[in-house]
Structure 1
Amino acid sequence: MIPSPARRFLARHTRRAWEPAVRLARPLTEALVTGAPDPARPRSRRLTRRVPRALGLLPFRTIDLVLLGDLALTFVLFGGGLSYLETEAAAARSPLDQQGLMFAALAFSLPLALRDRWPLAAWRSAFLLVPLGTVVSRQFLHEVPYTAAASIMYVLVVYAVAVRCERHITVGVWIVSFLAAWMIHPNSTALVVGTVSVTVLFGYNVRARRLAAGLLAQEERRSERALAAQAALEERARIARELHDVVAHHMSVIAIQAEAVPLQASGDARRLEEGLKEIRALSLAAMTEMRRVLGVLREGDGHADTAPQPGLGRLEELADTARSAGLVVTLKLVGDLARLPTAVSLSAYRIAQESLSNAMRHAPGSTVSLKVARYGAELHVQVTNSAGHRSPEPSESPESPESPDERGHMGHGLIGMRERVSVLGGRLWVGPTGTGFAVTAILPISEDA
């Protein structure tokens, strides 16, 4: 029996001796048997075409131009390779029949049809078929037994593997290609290995660039989401400060009423009861506004803007300001707008203000229709503008989800509208209409607001 120290020494050195073999066996095993490629990247619109209506009975709706190109090149390589092999066989007076030549032509072209969907399967089939086809063709090709069709097919298949597979699988493909080239025709090994090496390095570089671009795009999307969330929080805090002023106004009125009602009543129970009812109504309104403040406020900085807040009574002034900036503004007011809750009036004013500001920025000189209407317990705000003197650029269009307003880079217009409407429990629609743009908001009018 081997002593324990000697057994440990033998096991350690045996493991060290096997480690290089294990490292080499992994890429070879995955390249030949167990490996799998990465999922195919989404095809760009330039590389896909819709099926014409005249061909509507086909089982697919789009045509993949890359796959179509591979199939076309496969057919060309098969036809050209078959003609070449027949010519060379006739010149060498080879006894091969037509079936043998056709098999060789298929072996040198068929794997190319698989490389887009199944790159590893395409390479594995090429690894099996090319040597078999070479056995047929080398009987009359005495110098290099590889035809042009076989070379083109194998380079494209190896490139697909390098682009879609992990590095160790690509290394395994390179090693197997080197061994196969050395066994098939040793004199051309250097040429084959050089060509395959250049193809592998080029494909790996393309793969690395694609992965880096994907990670960069992912980081940009994450950054945009963070900026949008920050913009939403800032907008909510600003809205909460405005509602804070509304609550402060109600509380001030309550304090004055609580002090004045007993003096005005002078012992009259009826007048005292009326005064208390009015104080109660104001208290309920203040509580409603306070709930809205707590619902939207996320961070308090300890400062509140105490300037008077605007309302629908200043819409004419707002329209005049827009007209002085070059817009043609038509203002239409419908219904009783005098007795609206302060928060509703303020939100409607801000939505109209931001819509006119967007029209000034993105459609200067346009015609704007501003309509504010009260229908029962709802207030409708609709602002529609035409295209103006110039069409908005894609990067600055307010309706675009990638616009600066949405990302928080150049103001919080659309975010602010959505936050104001959500605070009041209303609905908002924004989007293009014809050549222009429309904003429609429906704000509920609460009795206790």
Structure 2
Amino acid sequence: MISAVLQPFWLAFFRGAADPPPHRSTRLRRPMPGPLRRLLPFDHYDVVQVADLVLAWVLFGTSLSELLEMNGEGRQPLWLVYLAAVAFSLPVALRDRWPLAAWRLALVLLPPSLHVVQQVTDMQPPYLEPAVVMYLLVLYSVAARCDRRITAVVWLTSVLTVWIVDPNSTALSSVAVTVIVLFGYNVRVRRRATASRDAAVGQRFVMAERARIARELHDVVAHHLSVIAIQAEAVPMAARGDAARLEEGLAQIRGLSLEAIKELRQVLGVLRDQEGRADTTPAPALDRLDELVGNARSAGLTVLVRRSGELEEVPTAMAVSAYRIVQESLSNAMRHAPGSAVAVELVWAGDLRVRVANGPGRGPGATPGAGHGLMGMRERATLLGGSLEAGPTEEGGFEVKATLPLERSP
């Protein structure tokens, strides 16, 4: 119990530390001018810290000038006058980087400095304006950047200090101290709430981006590897010892491999480079549908394509999603219904309707997977405000139908 009570005092006076300075916009971090950049070991300066240094210099000059003028008869040694001026200004210069250390320094230097003011000016209470400005600014920094237990100790110590220095002004001084501490604490609470909200938004963005990358990887890898696997099995059988046909088949496999690598680089480009540089090649869309169908035919499928409407007018995001839906549907047909007949229909009439239906395969297909392909297709349709239905047909095949509305397309 005693330890819990004493710990905040121990933290406030000795071991505690403040939070790092809040993140500031680029407008408050300015490039260092050319001549100074060659002299100083940093390229940018913080506008807030520079403002604190300027204010500290103004407080030092103002308090020193006032104290020297009132100390004309030499009532106090000059070094004490300069010490008071430093006490009323230096904590302001430190408050942004080390707010708690600035308060500790002010707490140590204020009693002798206020004594100097009282002896030189006979003021009651002995509060020069620079001293008041300095202490309130330091109090705000502590309340805005330190744990509430530390802030409570700093507030209590400040109230006791003003009571000891001048009991007659305790009420007004305590109100000023309390208002500043509450204001700083409110700023801290709002900053932490904003940081938590931004972290949650960032986490949702990361999860959405991970899902997007997972969809792209699944579509690229599943389709191209399915075609490559089928081609690798079919080419030697079709060549029957014919070196020319074997070479032609291997060239097709090599082309498919290079295409898969190209699309993988496009998906993972932003992850490769810490500076954010990425491959800017456009994602495959409906303009490459014939190439996609050609790969499926070379893998043994019989594909019939029917187009309706001006597909060139389909927005890019919608065209990419439609391409991926067709690609995944053809990949599923290759794996689960090899050699089947597939009908691909694309209808553009205010919205885009995609239908891919395959019949039963000519041979045994692969075992059912985890369903990530269907999940990815549904996510693509949902992101555009559309819908997707998928299921077996009465003829023993499989059908995918998607509707992508224009209204929700970017």
TM-score bucket of the superposed structures, by smaller chain: 0.5 to 0.7
CA distance in 2, matches of 1:105, 1:80: 8
After superposition, give the CA deviation of every residue in 1:65-120 in whole Å (9 maximum; x if it has no partner).
Answer: 21111111111111111222344445xx6723433322222222222111111111
Question: 2:67 aligned to 85, 110, 113, which one?
Answer: 85
Greater Cα shift, 48-57 or 145-154: 48-57
**Deviation (angstroms), 1:323:** 7.8
> What RMSD over aligned residues (CA atoms) do the two structures have, in Å?
4.4
- Residue in structure 1 matched with residue 108 of structure 2 by the alignment: 128
- Residue in structure 2 matched with residue 50 of structure 1 by the alignment: 31
**Deviation (angstroms), 1:249:** 8.0
**Deviation (angstroms), 1:283:** 10
CA distance in 2, matches of 1:192, 1:185: 9
Specify every segment of 5 or more residues in structure 1 that has no aligned partner in the other structure, as ranges: 1-18, 262-271, 297-307, 327-341, 344-407, 412-449
Checking the alignment, whether the CA contact within 8 Å between 1:250 and 1:286 is kept in structure 2 is yes
Specify every segment of 5 or more residues in structure 2 that has no aligned partner in the other structure, as ranges: 265-287, 295-306, 316-329, 332-381, 386-410
Question: 2:98 aligned to 118, 124, 127, which one?
Answer: 118
**Residues 44, 58 of structure 1: alpha-carbon distance in 2 compared, 3 angstrom cutoff:** farther
- Residue in structure 2 matched with residue 380 of structure 1 by the alignment: none
Matched, 1:137 2:108: no
In the alignment of these two chains, the number of paired residues is 280
- Residue in structure 1 matched with residue 55 of structure 2 by the alignment: 73
**Residues 73, 248 of structure 1: alpha-carbon distance in 2 compared, 3 angstrom cutoff:** closer
- Residue in structure 2 matched with residue 182 of structure 1 by the alignment: 163
CA distance in 1, matches of 2:155, 2:55: 24
In structure 2, give the amino acid aligned to 1:69: A
Q: Which has the larger Rg?
A: 1
**Residues 63, 243 of structure 1: alpha-carbon distance in 2 compared, 3 angstrom cutoff:** closer
CA distance in 2, matches of 1:46, 1:87: 41
Checking the alignment, whether the CA contact within 8 Å between 1:178 and 1:192 is kept in structure 2 is yes
In structure 1, give the amino acid aligned to 2:105: S
In structure 1, give the amino acid aligned to 2:188: R
Matched, 1:107 2:66: no
Greater Cα shift, 198-207 or 33-42: 33-42
Using structure 2 for the length normalisation, give the TM-score: 0.57
CA distance in 2, matches of 1:410, 1:58: 55
Checking the alignment, whether the CA contact within 8 Å between 2:63 and 2:130 is kept in structure 1 is yes
**Residues 142, 284 of structure 1: alpha-carbon distance in 2 compared, 3 angstrom cutoff:** closer
Higher relative contact order (CA 8 A, sep 6+): 1
In structure 1, give the amino acid aligned to 2:291: G
CA distance in 2, matches of 1:56, 1:313: 60
Matched, 1:196 2:177: yes
Alignment of 1:22-421 (within 5 A): 22-59=3-40, 60-89=42-71, 95-139=75-119, 140-239=121-220, 242-243=223-224, 246=227, 274=242, 310-311=290-291
CA distance in 1, matches of 2:77, 2:64: 12
SS in 1 for 2:39: coil
